[in-house]
Chain A
């Protein structure tokens, strides 16, 4: 306590808030720094971190002796550290600018370092509050920059977020030769990639933009199926619906995969039993799309594409006038009556 009392009028001895793990031995004489007006007389990088709080505080506390413009002193450090301490130096510069603004002199003069023409009073506030303000301004500036950089251009529509979750379920393989005994991981992965791509192209994109991108569909659908879009588009693609304004979520039961392998062990066909539910909000109300059935996938130039489908789609919700159910192709005929022989 005696020590504390002896350091007044500073509210709290600055030395007590000194950052740890920093050197304090190089606290600079204020005279040398302030006179340099931007050119560091001497010192090291570490002084940038430590000396302003320590030394300036001490000098500030000596009110009557505050003849050296502290702002210039700090400016000199700022200039020096900017090439060597990165963020720290920039923070210091901002802090100094704040100090200057708060204490009255024009900012330009402050940074020009016209030391002798300025009358800069020692800052009346504690250094701690300055540091907080500086940090606050720095963070706000950084946030503003980040938001500006990330934000879409003016006028661009905000895209609703989409979550498509499709996972493989039970896997079965039928083989005509000696293997494989399971669906190879690379095949399974490629098939799931295609299925996810299809859902994105057939459901998510139309809900966002009002129409599907046929080029994107083409990465998931084989050419014959793309050709079938002319007749089965209402089943394959969720178009003609109000645009989503909320998050688009597509979830479903794990996809049961069935593979067919030839005598050489090559998987030539994979069928996928899909049952997905897409939900979202539109300007007209909630929308729910349920798509179920089987998709047939076959290798196509290094990827797997959908070559066949048996799908049923239900679209319900206030967003559409009347619920619709579309099925392709028609269900097989009922079995004929038989008489056992």
Chain B
């Protein structure tokens, strides 16, 4: 092909093919950004008929935070699992206060049986229904997470700072802590939240109380990072990839996240539900004194007198 015209005629389509190939290769190599392969860390559900935070931003509202014992892929731990960590959080956006009532998993439900079983049989709505009956409140949101999601979530945010007030050593749960303040990974925090055998007297009750402490510690850790409005957007974007929402959108999730980060952990009260040993079998009956607690809770979502 000495003829320059012939060379040109050959070169033009050849160059075009090469360019097209390069573009195609780049497309396959890079492509459009895809969301990370998402394991579900937790689910957030809009439940109940009460006004949402978005609808009435100044009104107190209640959130169920429930840790379930499901483990995806394990046939012995199917979803939705038992509700083994049960906490009802009351938030008063106007005052910036919040309160947590920790409900031991063996607490006897108003409908009979242990409260933790309702999640396995009826999911979040069933548990919410029992707690609403128990406390006389309307729960607006429910958040649930399993073991893997909990571990991943804690690791993603860089660990959580928590204070251990007494020795915790339990092979079953995996705790081995001496008193002090720790930045716990997902695995260690899960162990901390599951340990009941380090408390021979209180057992599950102390464990439940510790879980409430872990919630406040998580809030404090996130808040200490002072993410601001833009940082919260980044945080929510990260969490949302691993969050299953039901009955609410991302904007509402963002608003709730922003609200949570404005709460001063020092103004979040953690109270264990008073129970007695008079329940059916191993059930823990709700103590009579709890009625006063519930009354204090349901007027403005805050425990002033407890």
Seen from chain A, the residues whose Cβ lies within 8 Å of a Cβ on chain B are: 172, 174-179, 181, 224, 227, 256, 258-260, 262-263, 268-269, 271, 273, 294-296, 298-299, 307-308, 310, 329-341
List 29 A-B pairs, Cβ < 8 Å: A172-B230, A174-B233, A174-B236, A176-B241, A178-B34, A179-B32, A256-B230, A258-B229, A260-B251, A262-B249, A263-B35, A263-B250, A268-B250, A268-B251, A269-B251, A271-B230, A273-B230, A294-B229, A298-B255, A310-B228, A310-B229, A331-B226, A333-B264, A333-B266, A335-B225, A337-B181, A338-B161, A338-B182, A341-B185
A260 touches B236 (CB 8 A): yes
Min CB distance, B287 to chain A, in Å? 33
Q: How many A-B residue pairs have CB under 8 A?
A: 110
Which among B223, B234, B254, B264 has the highest number of chain A CB atoms within 10 Å? Answer: B254
Q: Count the B residues whose beta carbon is within 8 Å of the partner chain — how many?
A: 44
A340 touches B183 (CB 8 A): yes
Min CB distance, A53 to chain B, in Å? 71
User: With contacts A176-B35, A336-B220 known, is A329 near B188, CB below 8 A?
Assistant: no
Min CB distance, B241 to chain A, in Å? 5
B201 within 8 A of A: no
List chain B residues, Cβ under 8 A from A308: 229, 255, 258
Which among A271, A332, A337 has the highest number of chain B CB atoms within 10 Å? Answer: A332
- Nearest to A330 among chain B residues (CB) is B264
B23 within 8 A of A: no
List chain A residues, Cβ under 8 A from B35: 175-178, 263
A336 touches B230 (CB 8 A): no
Min CB distance, B36 to chain A, in Å? 10
What's the Cα separation between A298 and B240 when bound, in Å? 18
What's the Cα separation between A175 and B230 when bound, in Å? 13
Could you list 20 further interchain pairs (A-B, Cβ under 8 angstroms) beyond the known A260-B251, A262-B251, A268-B250? Answer: A174-B233, A174-B236, A174-B238, A176-B241, A176-B250, A177-B35, A224-B57, A258-B229, A258-B230, A260-B254, A268-B251, A269-B250, A271-B229, A271-B230, A273-B230, A294-B228, A298-B255, A335-B224, A336-B224, A341-B188
What's the Cα separation between A176 and B40 when bound, in Å? 13
